Each structure stands twice: as C-alpha cells, then as structure tokens.
Amino acid sequence: MAAWLRPVACEYKSANDFRLLASCRQMHNQAHTIPSMATRNFKTAIARNISRLTGHTEPFLLGCIERPKLRSHGEFSIPIPKLIKTPLATGERIVKKPVDLSKELAEKFPQDPLIRTATPQGAFLNFSVHPVEFIRQVVTQVHTECDGYGMHPSLGRGRTCVVDYSSPNIAKPFHAGHLRSTILGNFVSKVHEACGWKVIGINYLGDWGKQYGLLAVGFDKYGDQAKLEQDPIHHLYEVYIRINKEAETDKEIDVKAKEYFKRMEEGDETALSTWRHFRTLSIASYTPLYTRLNIRFDVYTGESETDAHIPRIQDLLAHHNLAITDPADGAVHVDLDRWDLGKPVIRRADGTSLYVTRDLASLAMRRERWAFDRAVYVVGHEQERYLKQVFRIAGLLWGGEREEEEREIKRRRIEEKKHVGEEEMEPDNHWTEDLVHVSFGRIHGMSTRKGNVVFLRDILDTARETMLEIMRGNEEKFEEIMEVGTDANTGEGKEGASAQGETTARLTGEAAVEQIADVVGASAVVVQDMQGRRAKDYDFSWERMTDAIGDTGVYLQYAHARICG
C-alpha cells in the first residue's frame, strides 16, 4: 500500500495537502503548475476545445485554467476576461463582453469523453468532469506512481526549510495550542519533504527565564528525586504550581528565584547542572509521546541556546542605527511605526534581553547552522503581530546581504535548472523574505472525563482508553485481535531518529489490543484537528472524534484496513 494511504504514519503526501497549507503561498501556487497526469489530461481537453472556438493557443489556455472557489461550480474554471485582454496569435483581439463570451462558449462547447458540462457563471466558464473517468485516471496514476503520487521533488531541490513547531514549556502544561502546533507543524514538514526540500524539524522549548529560578527554588523545598525520574513533566509541574502559589504571599521566594536565574545567566555551574538535569529528563519524557504520533524532531533546542548570539544582534541593531534608547526609562526599542508595527522593546533598561531579542538571536543561530532558505513558525494567531515585528526587524538587519547572496543563489540555480527545468522550481527569494507564520485558531473544551487535560500524555491516554472501551464492546472482534495480534514499531523515538530505520515486532494478547487502541486513538486526535479549518477556532469533542462513522480518524483507519484486506 502506498505510504500516503497509511493514516497512522501521518505522511500527508497526497495532492490535497497543498490546499490545506495556504500559508506556504509560493510552494502552494507553484505545486499547482505541475498538475497530476490525470488533471493534465482533463485540462488539455478543455484547452483543446476552447482553442478551436476562440483562436487562442492551447499553452496559453492551459495557463488560464484554475480551480473554482466553490466546489459546486465544478472542477475547473476559466476567467473569460483573460481571453479578451490577451491578443490572439494573429495579433487580433476578441471584442465581446465577458458574460456574453462565456455564454457563447458554453453553448458551443462540444461533447467530450472527459468533460461533462461547460457552464457560464458570470465572467467565468466552469467545467465539470465525468467523475467515473476522472476516478479511473487518478487511481491508475496512484497505482503506477505508488509512494511517489502527489510528490514534486523538483520544487525545493537543493533548498533547506526549518520548521519551528510544538514548542512546549518545560514544567508547564502542554496546552491545546501546542497540540495544534505539533500536528500542523508535522504536516508542514511532510509537505515540504514531498516537494524536495531538506527539512529541519525544530522543537524550540521554553526552557529559560526567571520561572526556572522559581522552579529550582521550589524543587529544593518540595522536589522528590524518585518522582522526578519516574515522571519528570508532571512532577516538575506539580512543584511549579505549589511554589508559584506560595510566592503570591511570600515575596522572598520571588527574590530567591531572580537570584537563582541570575546565577544561571552568569554561568554558575551548580545552578546550570540542575537546570540541565530538568531539561534532559523532560525531553526524554516527551520523545516517546511524540513517537506515538509518529513525529520525530531533528533538533531539540530552546531559548537557553541563544545567549551567545544576543551580543551580535545588539551590535547589528546599533550598526544599522535601529536601536533607539528611550530617554524616559532607558529601554531600547526599534521604530516600526512606518509599517504600523509600533516600537517593540529589544532591551530592558537593566540590559536584559526580551523574547524579540532572543528570537532574532535564534534566527541568526539557525541561519549560521543550516543556511536555510525558508523558516516556518507554526504558532497560534495571537502571535501574528509579534512575528511580523520579528520578521520586519530581520529584514532590516540582514536585508543588506541580499545582493551578494542573490548572486550566489542565481549561479547555483542556473546549474540546477540545467537538470530540472525552470517551470518546475520555486521562485528565488532572499531568506528574510521567506519567513512564514503558519497561524491557527484555538481549541475549546479539551478536557478528559476526569478533569482538564494539561499534558500531551493525558490527551493520548484518554484517546486510547476511549478506543479500548469501544473495542471491548464487540467481544468477538476483541478476542480475534488478541489471538491474531498486530505489528508494532520497536524504534526508541530518539532525537533525529528516522522511521525508515525501525524494525517491527509481533504483539498478541492485551499488548496487541492496547497498541491498536493507541494507534487509532492517535489517528482520531490528528484527524479531528485536520477537520477544523486551520485559521478558525473549533470545539473539541471526544464523542465526535472517536465516532466510527463519518470523516473521523477511526473511520479512516477502518477504510485503510478494508483496502489492505
């Protein structure tokens, strides 16, 4: 079975992937200029017939064909004004009103074995295909191309994209925003890989700041080493909640937390070793949970790693005369008023950095390490203005490198185009012009039957338990699964691990049942999120998510099993 049909694997490589990633505009648009063989056949039939009726060339008409905004308008559409504005090959022009020409072409469009109807819709001419023939051609192409179906490796060949997603805070809840970021970020990564990009998946942890001083103080008072080793994420969260509540009435705790974090910033090895221990255990705890979603990151990094690059950012800001000191409070800001982005502060009066400074430092670090061509941030829509500020400042800081880098890029691309063909490659952009924010709406009402969900493990465990209850409802099938068993990956899910290198083991009995329930439950979580419109909020529903009927992960797994059978 082709990999893109395996819902558990979360490969997301079908042609429909591109519609779901409108934020990656250039790749999205370019991908549609390389249609599937089936789509190309139907477009050619439209172009051939319209060419005979108008005198326009087939190549020109192929470039005019687009997809209607509404599904009810058919599969393809031609905006008639393009046919009127563009001269014919003879130099003549069509002198008619768009609405009249649309009606005339619809009436004269001949019978065709591929095209069912041609319908005028104002200034557009819409086309519906013969569905059986379209399905036949698509399925034939899928069978022929197998795992390569829907992939366009030439689009991003020789280019690198870093994708920043998931990014939970250590010792804080893995909230619904992190879940959406995780699912969508994995999707963004897979689509880029399908288009030939080298992808670096980054989990940028919230692992720095005064709260870690607070956590260290709390652990000295309430920490339990055995609990920490057994379940670091939950135990650190319990400690953090407890010490944070105590700090509300005891101001001395806040003072101690600031002092501890200052020691961390100054490189005190005792303070840093405790922080490193918390961080290492947390990553080790998160990794197998991501593996349950079949997600692996190339790099776990965080705010803590940006310190070495912050002085460079401060120097660049000064060099470009962008750092403006406020005489009132001594804070330093960048004036972005001309872009309606305000005056973001980049350094406090006491000299300490802020999020914007650290994010700019992170960009510098990633550019130095991977020389990326595109950086994608999968973050909630509430961060839209902030990321616009970061991207704008990045353009002001590094845009001056553009001419020199563009000469090198142009040379490299000319060599590549000898082998690929210019029409199959994305347009060149300086990396500061390809900083992309893939935003998303919020999830409302995500809670277990026992209370609020605060961690990824809670979400996945609840989904698994729900599926187990449903499976136990059919005793005959339940016993059959226990006897027949199932295969399971034995990979450890380590940082940077590849799914291709994993082996499988045969499970039977309760282990097999739990494995299947876990896989189907994870699919239910992923598919429910994909069903919601990315930019919109949606209500989380365990009942709808685990329903075996309808567009759910459970039904998708069922359909996949039927196809394989």
How does DSSP assign 256-300, residue by residue? HHHHHHHHHHTT-HHHHHHHHHHHHHHHHHHHHHHHHTT---SEE
Which residue among 172, 190, 235, 437 is the active-site one?
Answer: 172
Half-sphere exposure of 508 (CA within 13 A, CB side): 3
Q: Which residue has the tokens 């519609």?
A: 19
Q: Around Cβ 171, how many Cβ atoms within 10 Å?
A: 26
Does the active-site annotation cover 143?
no
- Which is catalytic among the residues 152, 175, 235, 256? 175
Instruction: Give the separation between CA 295 and CA 380, rounded to whole angstroms.
Output: 20
**Is 56 one of the catalytic residues?**
no
- Count of H helices and E strands in the chain? 21, 17
- Closest by CA to 433, choosing from 471, 399, 403, 463, is 399
Q: Clarify whether 234 is annotated catalytic.
A: no
Distance CA 555, CA 550 (A): 7
> Can you tell me which residue has the tokens 């979400």?
459
Q: Please say whether the beta carbons of 110 and 49 come within 8 A.
A: yes
Q: How far apart are CA 35 and CA 51, in angstroms?
A: 20
Q: Do 310 and 353 meet the contact criterion of CB atoms below 8 Å apart? A: yes
Q: Which of 43, 178, 190, 437 is catalytic?
A: 178
Question: Per 3-state DSSP, what percentage of the chain is helix, strand, and coil (rounded to 5)?
Answer: 60, 10, 30
SS3 annotation, 176-222: HHHHHHHHHHHHHHHHHHHCCCEEEEEEEEECCCHHHHHHHHHHHHH
Tokens of 509: 């009995």
Half-sphere exposure of 299 (CA within 13 A, CB side): 15
Q: CA 289, 290, 291 angle in degrees (round to 5)? A: 90
- What is the C-alpha to C-alpha distance for residues 227 and 235, in angstroms, rounded to an integer? 6
> Known catalytic residues?
172, 175, 178
